Every structure is written in C-alpha cells, then in structure tokens.
A and B are shown apart, each in its own frame.
Chain A
C-alpha cells in the first residue's frame, strides 16, 4: 500500500493511501485477505486450534464433551500464564529458558512453607516472591552485567531446579486444601474453572499492559530497535530487568495453579513447560527477534498445544508420540511465520 511513496506531490489528505483491496467491496476484501499467506501466518495458532478441534471431534465425538473441555481448559491454564510470561521476554528479543525451573522453585517454596505450618496465603506469597526474585536476578544479569540472555537463563534453569531439589530434599509435599478443589474444579460458569479465570485475567491484563501502557510500547521498542529506543531516551536496561521480573512473577503464579491441580508439590522441573511456552509464543506469531508481539496469539498457541496433547491421548496414541507431534507443529508454524507481514 505504498502508493504514496512514488514521489508525486500529494497533500496530507491525498497521501492517505487506500489499500486497493478496499475498493472492490467487502467480499473481494475478504477473499484477498484469505489469499494472503501473511494473514494465515498471523492467525496460525487460532486456525490450527480450530482445525485440531474439528479433526479430533470427527475422530472421537466425546472429545468435545463438557468433561473433556473442562479438563483441557484447566490443563491449559498454567501454560497460558507461562506463554504470556515468555511473550514479554521474547518481545524484547530475549528468551527465558529458566521459566519451567523457576516455576518448580515456586512450587517447592509453596510446599515447604505449607509443610512448615504456614497459612496458604503465606505459602502463595512465598511462591510468587521466589519467582519474582529469580526473574529479577535474570534481568540484572542480562541487562546490567551484559551476559547473554541465553547463558543467564540457562544458568538459572540449572540453579533454580537445583535449589528446588535442595529445599525439598527431593520430596513432594501433599497439599490437601479444600480451597484448591474450589478453584481447580469449580468455576463461575460451566466448563470454566477459577484457575482458567485467573489465566484469562492475566492474559487480559498482559494485553492491556503491552498495548495500552508506556511500558508496553517501550518493551516493543526495546525489542524492535534497541538503538532507536535508547536514542529517544528509553532505558532498555530497565525494560529488560522488568520483563524478566514479570516472567518470574508469572512463573510464581503458575506454580500456585499447578499445585492447585495436582494437590502436591513435585520437586522435579517439568521441562515440557519450557518447550511448550516457547512453542506457544512461536505459534502465536511472536517474532523471536523481538519487537513484534501479541498476547492473544500465544494464548491460542498454548490452547492449541494442550488440545493437541489431549486429543492424542483421547485417541489412544502412545505418550511417546506427543513430544514428536509438538515438534512437528512448532516447526511447521515457524515455517509459516516466514510469510508473516
């Protein structure tokens, strides 16, 4: 749509280039959008989600039963939160490899505080604080000490999961609290549990922060062009510390949700959360080079992955095929991203 770029003298009104697609009426516009491969790249996660749901339902009608939908949504809650967390980091052209380990650290801190007789509130606060501190440390090492994000968070991956094992002595703590049943089994409406509501609220807040606050704009600018951001006076170091801190904080919240669903605090890191959070971000059309992000995309990405794993299980496909299928889907999505606008 760069008709205004051809150097013909044009006033401010004439320079408002109209995309040619709009002239042929709505139907024409829709058709041309559907032919545009960039459109599919932008909405890959949603389209993939719909296709998967359709295929699984066709193969196994009970796939869309209320029980299974409830289960899938609840199972996706933690991943949605972690995908949102990863999105903030990736938007600054960074990556947080420690996200699953920090979640586990949060889980263990929660468990140890609970086992030590603390109230649930204190245990929750401890989990969130542990995540926040780990994230802040990541951020300071990346932004202020100038160590590559990859190395810093790889170190934190190891350190946090090690610390989780030390603190828990490798033992899970059983947390039987009716509150957990209330939030992981009940909800405001049919099929939507409270933990799904929490994840949805976090996604909405994240969207508002990213697209409707100065901080969000500075996050995108830091990822898009650190030089330009710096030249306008943005402190890219501060932005980076903030996004890793946000990621850690959200990992702490995800820890609470995982414990609520499991009723116990497994001390070993679930690395699937790391791979799947990055996968959800890629599926959601977020550029790993930074500067381009969305919250809705990674949320759909997280849902897609959950549906994929659940569907394969429902169809009786061996567990061993699951990582393989995730890998194929993610690489296919990444391929599609090359056509992104």
Chain B
C-alpha cells in the first residue's frame, strides 16, 4: 500500500467524470461528475433511489461505469474489484453493512487484511489491535471476540466504521453511517468523521440528515434521479437550499 505517499497538492483525490451506469432499464447514473477534495468532508445528498450508493460503489470498485471515468489523483483508474480500490486507499462503509455475522468483531475488522506469522493467522495480535481500534471509536462495542450476529445495529455500524478508518486509507466513503444510530452514537460517529478529516483523510459522506451535512461538510453534491444536479460549498448554502435542490423546487 503506497497510498499515502503520493499526495498531490491541490487537485481532487477522487473524481467521477461523466459517469453513467444502468441496471437494465434503470438509469441509476446519468452523466454524473463530482469531485472529492483532499482533507475535506464531501457530502452527497439526494432522495431515495437518486443514485448515491451506486455512485460511491463506482469509487469502491463494486461497480464499473458503463461510460465516463473515475479518476484517482487526476489519473483515470478502472478498479477491477473492491480489493483494487482498497489497495489504492479507498475504504468504504457500505449502506448494507458489509460484515460477516458469524465471524467475530476482530475477524471482521481484519477481513482480507489478516495479520499472519509464518503463514498462520496471528490471532493474538489481531485481537489486541482490534481492541485498540474499537476503543478509539469509544462507542459501546462489546468484546472484540463476540460474534457480529449478537451486536446491535449501532454496534455493527461502529465496527464497519472502525474497519474503514483503520487501514491508513486516503478516502473513507460512508454511506449513511448514522442512519441506524442513537443520539449518542451519532455524536460519536460525527466526532470520528471530523477526526478522520483532521488526520488528513478525505471523507465522502452520504447522509439524509441536512443538519449533519451542514455541520460537518465543506462541499455538498446534490443528486436527483440519477443526475448530479448541483454542487455547493457548504458555507455558501443553507439547509433550505439543499432541500430545494433535492426536490427540484430550486433549479440548479
């Protein structure tokens, strides 16, 4: 992972340029162009089915655009798999929580990033480091040896976020990370998002919570029915304007 070395000064870390993607007759993305700047929290908003998750899945290697391109540090990339995106430093907290229920917390945290010694799993070290990762998030997470099946929705979310934040990623994508969380957990996750940014990660945040978007982000992209209809600097917009852009009451 040489992800952290090549940090270009000004340009976006990740960019979608005229990306289109259809599932059969459903045009999930049409000619979408957005940028994610380094060191910033970029928000992606839009109604249900607007195409937000589909767009970020193009960044995390799950989908490949049918036309248009994804650029990493200004260079076109075609992630052939989620592994390729992860090795390039893009970690994702998926909306549907990509955790394996029958595995333990520490196994999930280190899934496909297992530490080994002499070819064997270094279970002790993974457990210890998992404990560290989890306690840094300081959300109510039970022991790292418990199975994910026994965790509450919020606890699972915390584990997903831990995993995404844990591996010296350059860009952390979070697809509605606080949707299932209580008040306290939401506050902690928001703290974590800010901390990730302060530590130099770029964050791409999907959220339906406009207060949260205004509180955390520096840039907002608005999607409607598969198109990116507007982009605003957060300090130059308001919650009302964003709502108007999402519903189409305000023309972009």
Chain A interface (Cβ < 8 Å from any Cβ of B): 1-2, 4-5, 7-12, 15-17, 208, 211-214, 216-218, 220-221, 224-225, 227-235, 287, 291-292
**Which residues of B are found within 8 Å of A2, using beta-carbon distances?**
142, 150-152
**Which residues of B are found within 8 Å of A216, using beta-carbon distances?**
121
Is residue B100 within 8 Å, beta carbon to beta carbon, of the partner chain? yes
Q: Which residue from chain A places its CB closest to the CB of B85 in the assembled complex? A: A233
Interface of B (DSSP majority class): loop
State whether A228 touches B100 (Cβ < 8 A).
yes
**How close is B176's CB to chain A, nearest CB, in angstroms?**
15
State whether B142 touches A227 (Cβ < 8 A).
no
**Which residues of B are found within 8 Å of A234, using beta-carbon distances?**
83, 111-112
**Which residues of B are found within 8 Å of A212, using beta-carbon distances?**
120-121, 123
Q: What are 21 inter-chain pairs, A to B, with CB distance below 8 A?
A: A1-B150, A4-B140, A4-B142, A5-B142, A5-B152, A9-B140, A12-B134, A12-B135, A12-B141, A15-B141, A217-B121, A220-B100, A221-B112, A228-B97, A228-B98, A230-B82, A231-B60, A231-B82, A231-B92, A233-B86, A234-B111
A10 to B154, CA, bound (A): 14
A183 to B113, CA, bound (A): 42
A287 to B155, CA, bound (A): 25
Known contacts A221-B112, A225-B100; 5 additional CB pairs below 8 A are A1-B146, A5-B155, A11-B138, A221-B103, A233-B87
**How close is A297's CB to chain B, nearest CB, in angstroms?**
15
**How close is A76's CB to chain B, nearest CB, in angstroms?**
28
State whether A15 touches B103 (Cβ < 8 A).
no
Is residue B235 within 8 Å, beta carbon to beta carbon, of the partner chain? no
State whether A7 touches B140 (Cβ < 8 A).
yes
Is residue B191 within 8 Å, beta carbon to beta carbon, of the partner chain? no
Report the tally of A-B residue pairs with Cβ distances under 8 A: 120
Is residue B101 within 8 Å, beta carbon to beta carbon, of the partner chain? yes
State whether A232 touches B142 (Cβ < 8 A).
no
Give 4 closest A-B pairs by Cβ, nearest first: A233-B83, A12-B135, A231-B98, A224-B100
**How close is A284's CB to chain B, nearest CB, in angstroms?**
15
A23 to B231, CA, bound (A): 57
Which B residues, 122 to 165, have Cβ-Cβ distances below 8 Å to chain A? 123, 131, 134-135, 138, 140-143, 146, 150-152, 154-155
**Which residues of B are found within 8 Å of A9, using beta-carbon distances?**
140, 184
The count of residues in chain B whose C-beta lies closer than 8 Å to any C-beta of chain A is 47
**How close is B25's CB to chain A, nearest CB, in angstroms?**
23
Is residue B8 within 8 Å, beta carbon to beta carbon, of the partner chain? no
Q: Which residue from chain A places its CB closest to the CB of B150 in the assembled complex? A: A2
> What does the 1/0 interface line of B79-96 toward A look like (CB < 8 Å)?
001111011000010101
Q: Which residue from chain A places its CB closest to the CB of B183 in the assembled complex? A: A7
**Which residues of A are found within 8 Å of B143, using beta-carbon distances?**
16-17
A216 to B119, CA, bound (A): 12
Given known A-B contacts A16-B142, A16-B143, A233 and B112 have beta carbons under 8 A apart: yes
A245 to B34, CA, bound (A): 45
Is residue B72 within 8 Å, beta carbon to beta carbon, of the partner chain? no
Given known A-B contacts A212-B120, A234-B112, A235-B81, A17 and B100 have beta carbons under 8 A apart: no
Chain B interface (Cβ < 8 Å from any Cβ of A): 60-62, 81-84, 86-87, 92, 94, 96-103, 107-108, 111-114, 116, 119-121, 123, 131, 134-135, 138, 140-143, 146, 150-152, 154-155, 182, 184-185
State whether A12 touches B138 (Cβ < 8 A).
yes
**How close is B137's CB to chain A, nearest CB, in angstroms?**
9
State whether A227 touches B96 (Cβ < 8 A).
yes
**Which residues of A are found within 8 Å of B101, using beta-carbon distances?**
224-225, 291
Given known A-B contacts A5-B151, A212-B121, A217-B111, A228 and B102 have beta carbons under 8 A apart: no
Contact of B141 among A4, A211, A233 (CB under 8 A): A4
**Which residues of A are found within 8 Å of B60, using beta-carbon distances?**
231
A230 to B103, CA, bound (A): 15
A213 to B108, CA, bound (A): 14
Contact of B111 among A5, A12, A16, A232 (CB under 8 A): A232
A231 to B95, CA, bound (A): 11
**Which residues of B are found within 8 Å of A225, using beta-carbon distances?**
98-101
**Which residues of B are found within 8 Å of A218, using beta-carbon distances?**
112
A212 to B184, CA, bound (A): 37
Q: Which of A8, A224, A234 has the most CB of B within 10 A?
A: A224
A329 to B154, CA, bound (A): 41
Q: Which residue from chain B places its CB closest to the CB of A6 in the assembled complex? A: B140
Given known A-B contacts A212-B121, A212-B123, A235-B81, A229 and B111 have beta carbons under 8 A apart: yes
**Which residues of A are found within 8 Å of B151, using beta-carbon distances?**
2, 5
**How close is B78's CB to chain A, nearest CB, in angstroms?**
16
**Which residues of B are found within 8 Å of A227, using beta-carbon distances?**
96, 98
A22 to B216, CA, bound (A): 44
